[in-house]
């Protein structure tokens, strides 16, 4: 369970949203589980009740560089998973606001959707996994506080320890603001640079004016265009010369709607750039991803390229 959720979360941060983040997974340590059972024995009526109430046997943690990216990640988690049948919703905001309390994280208790319960996952129906989402600096505080305050290894914290823990909490909150400002300043510096893209984040920064949520779906598009040799804004602009982009977009939207695949292209994301250059690269994408090659479904970009080809073929057939 943890492995499957981990892979999905990696895809969310690296491909779907393309945000700076790290993802880690773990299963509950047997000794920790034993201690938790022993300590809370009276809370469980029977074995079935135990599995209903222990929610973190499998766990995944996503730590975002930016605190502002936390809500984006959580929203995508809600779209990729379903909720624990024993809970009212997937997510629970755990941020503490009382004096001296600085824990910040969103906890998501998730269950796999029906689409993901085939094959080796068939035995995971209604099995839950806890996903914790927080910023990198919030994670630092959360871990320190947890080890010192909740494991109770050496008794109650002294007033000095509590004061210093409080200071660290404030520092991590101020640090989150500094990281946000640092990344904004870095993006401003990169915005007008010339030459090839350095990485996907440079690509996003220099092409962001194409769409409000340009970072979404950007990583797969960046991989495709750089492999095809179109690795600078100038090269991408040349691909769009002499094209009526609005007309091409309307035709493709209409065709996909007729096929019942109008959700394939996501508006206001980097798909806006993909559609703009598609007439000049769809054949190259198809060459890279020939039908029937590989396992599973073709990538979403390949699906879009094949749909565009079907549209072109249909237009040519109608002209004969």
DSSP-assigned beta bridge partners for residue 63: 22, 134
Tell me what pLDDT residue 40 has. Answer: 65
Segment-wise mean pLDDT, segments of 10 residues, the chain, 320 residues = 92 96 84 67 63 70 98 96 87 93 95 84 84 97 86 75 94 98 94 92 94 95 95 93 87 94 93 94 91 63 94 90
Angle at the Cα of 108 from the Cα atoms of 106 and 111, rounded to 5 degrees: 175
Tell me what pLDDT residue 47 has. Answer: 57
Picking from 131, 147, 169, 162, the residue whose alpha carbon sits closest to that of residue 55 is: 131
Residues whose CB falls within 8 Å of the CB of residue 82, separated by 6 or more in sequence, listed in order: 90, 110, 111, 112, 113
Contact 128, 110 (CB under 8 A): yes
Tell me what pLDDT residue 34 has. Answer: 67
Predicted TM-score (pTM) of the model is 0.85
Residues whose CB falls within 8 Å of the CB of residue 38, separated by 6 or more in sequence, listed in order: none
């Amino acid at each position: 369970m943890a492995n499957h959720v981990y892979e999905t979360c990696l895809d969310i941060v690296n491909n779907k949203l393309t945000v700076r983040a790290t993802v880690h997974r773990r299963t509950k340590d047997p000794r920790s589980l034993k201690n938790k059972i022993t300590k809370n024995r009276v809370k469980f009526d029977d074995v079935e009740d135990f599995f209903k109430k222990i929610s973190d046997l499998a766990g995944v943690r996503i730590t975002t560089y930016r605190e502002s990216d936390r809500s984006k990640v959580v929203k995508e988690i809600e779209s990729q998973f379903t909720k624990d049948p024993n809970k009212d919703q997937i997510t629970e905001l755990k941020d503490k606001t009382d004096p001296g309390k600085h824990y910040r994280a969103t906890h998501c208790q998730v269950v796999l959707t029906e689409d993901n319960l085939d094959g080796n996952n068939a035995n995971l129906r209604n099995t839950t996994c806890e996903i914790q989402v927080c910023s990198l600096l919030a994670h630092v505080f959360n871990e320190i506080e947890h080890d010192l305050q909740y494991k109770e290894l050496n008794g109650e914290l002294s007033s000095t320890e509590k004061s210093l823990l409080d200071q660290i909490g404030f520092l991590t909150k101020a640090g989150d603001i500094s990281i946000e400002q640092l990344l904004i300043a870095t993006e401003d510096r990169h915005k007008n640079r010339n030459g090839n893209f350095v990485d996907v984040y440079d690509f996003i920064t220099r092409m962001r004016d194409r769409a409000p949520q340009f970072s979404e779906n950007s990583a797969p598009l960046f991989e495709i265009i750089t492999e095809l040799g179109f690795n600078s804004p100038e090269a991408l602009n040349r691909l769009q010369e002499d094209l009526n982009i609005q007309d091409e977009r309307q035709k493709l939207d209409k065709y996909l709607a007729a096929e019942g695949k109008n959700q394939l292209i996501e508006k206001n994301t980097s798909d806006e750039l993909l559609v703009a250059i598609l007439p000049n690269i769809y054949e190259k994408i198809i060459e890279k991803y020939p039908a029937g090659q590989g396992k599973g479904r073709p990538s979403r970009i390949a699906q879009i390229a094949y749909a565009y080809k079907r549209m072109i073929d249909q237009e040519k057939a109608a002209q004969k």
